[in-house]
Amino acid sequence: MLQGIDTAAIGMASIIDQNDIIANNLANVNTIAFKQLIPTFRNIEEAEIPAQGQNIAPKGSLSLGSMIDTTSLDFSQGSLKKTNRTLDVAINGEGFFVVENSLGEFYTRNGNFTLNEDGDLVTKTGDKVLSESGGEINISIEQNLSKLCIAEDGRLMYGNEEIGKLKIVNFEDASKLKAFGHSLFKNTDPGSKPEEMERPNVAQGYLESSNANVVKSMIDSITGSRTYEVLSKVIRDSDGTLRKTVTEVGTVST
């Protein structure tokens, strides 16, 4: 009976962790190029169900509870939303823009770019967008931005003049990337090197939407809440049975 209480309590804690992940996904449903987190569960331990009698094989095993093992980023592409803004760009397909700040290089699919006071192409948080050569991309702020064209391969053209080319890379195993907020990702595995894409597909005047699945997240949240209620009832019933055992079993009636 005590094991049943422990198993139910572990399950309730796992559901709380799962709902925290769901809440974070739902909170970022309108965040540009947000990538939702997917939890993975694992059994804590399995107990063998003993045989009832001699020369009888065990009946199998019973899970003693589950918990969240890992969380992984879902890098599936969100839908592309048309903005008609000159400095908005989206990657249609695989790839990441490369940006840089005081903490080093980061990768993002958020192409909601702008210009700083020096005319450098930057993100909304001020991170510099890197060119194919690894340097910054400078656009004279005196130029008419409506005439700026960003080609499908990432080249920035002003008339017949090439101003620069967006550095767009991809990873053989994107699971090594870790989220750092503001739709930025950091490569935490030295053995996983970014590969520059030869033929990226860039769409000017578009932004990638969040890939958070609102309907599925709501269903998972409701299912989790119902499971939490069931497990809490298991604990209440088990507690009541234990109290009754302690207070009544063995009592001599007079």
The model's pLDDT over 25-62, given as tens digits with 9 standing for 90+, comes to 999 999 999 999 999 877 776 656 565 656 666 666 66
Question: Cβ contacts of residue 143 below 8 Å, gap of 6+?
Answer: 158
Percent of the chain with pLDDT over 90: 55
User: Cα–Cα distance between 67 and 56 in angstroms, integer?
Assistant: 32
Break the chain into its structural domains and give their ranges: 2-50+61-75+225-243, 80-208
User: If DSSP states are collapsed to H, E and C, what string results for the chain?
Assistant: CHHHHHHHHHHHHHHHHHHHHHHHHHHCCCCCCCCCEEEEEEECCEEEECCCCCCCCCCEEEECCEEEEEEEECCCCCCEEECCCCCEEEECCCCEEEEEECCEEEEECCCECEECCCCEEECCCCCEEEECCCCECECCCCCCHHHEEECCCCEEEECCEEEEEECEEECCCHHHEEECCCCEEEECCCCCCCEECCCCCEEECEEECCCCCHHHHHHHHHHHHHHHHHHHHHHHHHHHHHHHHHHHCCCCCC
Confidence at residue 211, expressed as pLDDT on a 0 to 100 scale: 96
The model's pLDDT over 98-151, given as tens digits with 9 standing for 90+, comes to 999 999 999 999 999 999 999 999 999 999 999 999 999 999 876 788 889 999
Q: Which range has the top average pLDDT, 67-71, 106-110, 230-234?
A: 106-110
pTM of the predicted model, to two decimals? Answer: 0.80
